[in-house]
Amino acid sequence: MTLIIFIIFLACVLSLVLFKVKSGSIARWAKLFRIVTVVFSISVFTYWFIKKSAVAFVDNSVGLQVVNKLPQALDFYLIKVNKTDQNTVLEPKHIGKIRPEYYRIEYLKMDKSDEYWIVGYLGKKNLVYFSQHSVPNKNIDQIVEVQNYINQSMKLSEAAKKQVDGYNYENTKLGIWITLDFLLLFLNLVLLLRKNKQKRL
């Protein structure tokens, strides 16, 4: 997705440059490029937001329900431990903030993994919960009830914290690129609509 967002950024910048081309044989192609850029960008972002907001059900997956039994809302992350060719790859994912007595459901693709970690934060940097879970039977869904402020492994929780920090850093960068894309897309859309309106008048 990062590559697509960067391509949209370059296309939107080029579209703003092509706005200056108003005559000659290139003008028609320039306008067509600008229209295609706007339509493509809107389509990509619409699809992306719908996909992000929908529940990510995965075929042949293990359902995981995380229940917060603590008196405070915690921000939870899931780290899947993937093992391939004698290498271990940690795959972080943000579950979200869960209020007391509420839960979230995730669907885990466990074809390359039989273990995952749950990390809970109180605030942005205060890690107050860490638990390690194995998946002996991938046909049975799992329920994790968070009832205590525990840290089952200081060593693994430090590794998890690094993964979460890196994950949040990448998401922050992605958010900046998306904001720039929206700004450029808005400018392109306004210029296109304004020019069409002027022609009608």
How large is the average pLDDT for residues 74-87?
Answer: 90
Angle, nearest 10°, between helix axes 2-18 and 25-53?
150
Q: Lowest-confidence range among 51-60, 88-97, 108-117? A: 51-60
**Predicted confidence (pLDDT) per residue in 97-134, tens digit:** 999 999 999 988 888 888 999 999 998 889 999 999 99
Q: What is the pLDDT of residue 127?
A: 95
Measured between its terminal Cα atoms, the distance across the chain in Å is 40
Q: Which of 185, 197, 178, 179 lies closest to 35, judged by CA? A: 185
User: Which parts of the chain fold into alpha helices (H)?
Assistant: 2-18, 25-53, 154-200
**Greater confidence, 94 or 196?**
94
Q: What is the CATH number of domain 62-152?
A: 2.60.40
Q: What is the pLDDT of residue 43?
A: 92
Q: What is the pLDDT of residue 158?
A: 95
181 contacts 161 by C-beta, under 8 angstroms: no
pTM over 0.75: yes
Residues in the chain: 201
- Residue 154 above 80 pLDDT? yes
**Greater confidence, 198 or 20?**
20
- Residue 53 above 80 pLDDT? no
For residue 20, what pLDDT band results from cuts at 50, 70 and 90?
Answer: confident
Q: What is the pLDDT of residue 21?
A: 78
For residue 201, what pLDDT band results from cuts at 50, 70 and 90?
Answer: very low
